[in-house]
Amino acid sequence: MATAAETPADQAVHKHTISVLLENKFGALNRVAGMFSAKGYNLESITVGPTEDATVSRMTLVTKGDDAIIEQIIKQLNKLIDTLKVVDLTYESFMERELALIKIATTAENRPEIMQIVEIFQGKIIDISHKTLTVEATGSGQKVDAIIKMLKPFHIKEIARTGRVALKREFVGEV
C-alpha cells in the first residue's frame, strides 16, 4: 500500500476555496449543492449571498479533492446553466473570513478571563446577561477554530458558525 510520502503530487488531496458567480435565480443553491451530492464530491462549507449586482449571487465553496477531482468540480460548476464564473482561489492570493457567534455560560468569577481571551482575538461581546455572554468572532477559519478552542474550557452553551466567504486579493506584496 502506498504511504502518504509516495502519493504522487497530483493525487494528493488538498482543501480548495472556490468562488462561483451565478445568476441570482430561484434554486441556484440547490443546483450547486445537488450537483455535489449527485457526484459524490466533498463539500465542507457553502455560503451564498447577493453581490454588488442584484442579478448575481456569489457562492463560496470549500471542498477537498485531488487535482483530477477539483478539475471535474470546476468543470461541473461551469456546466450548470446559471453559472457565470468559477474561480479556484486556492492558487491565488485571497482573503477569507468566517464568523461565529459563541454563547458561553459565565459567572462573575470567570467573566474577566473570558473577556481577555475575546480581546486577544479581537472578538466582540455582543450580548451579556447575568448568566451568559455572547461573543462575535470573525477571521480565517483557523482563527475562529482557535478562539473556540480557547473558550472550550468554559461552558459553551451554543455556537452558530457561517461557512467561508472569500475574495481575491488585489494588493500584491507583503501583507
Q: How far is the CB of 68 from other proteins (least distance, A)?
A: 7
- From residue 54 to residue 93, what is the string marking binding to other proteins with x (rule CB under 8 A)? --------------x--xx--xx-xx-xxxx---------
Residue 59, class by beta-carbon neighbours within 10 Å (0-12 exposed, 13-18 middle, 19+ buried)?
Answer: buried
Is the Cβ–Cβ distance between 126 and 174 less than 8 Å?
no
* DSSP H or E stretch at residue 114: helix 111-120
What is the DSSP secondary structure assignment for residue 52, as one 8-state letter?
S
Q: How far is the CB of 44 from other proteins (least distance, A)?
A: 21
Q: How far is the CB of 144 from other proteins (least distance, A)?
A: 32
Q: How far is the CB of 111 from other proteins (least distance, A)?
A: 46
Bridge-based pairing state of the strands 56-65 and 14-23: antiparallel
Residue 73 CB neighbours (<10 A): 24
- From residue 106 to residue 145, what is the string marking binding to other proteins with x (rule CB under 8 A)? ----------------------------------------
Contact between 31 and other proteins by CB under 8 A: the answer reads: yes
- Match 473556540 to its residue by C-alpha cell: 148
**Overall size of the chain counted in residues:** 175
In this chain, which of 29, 35, 95, 146 binds other proteins, going by CB under 8 A?
A: 35
**Binding positions for other proteins, rule: CB under 8 A:** 22-23, 26-27, 30-31, 34-35, 38, 68, 71-72, 75-76, 78-79, 81-84
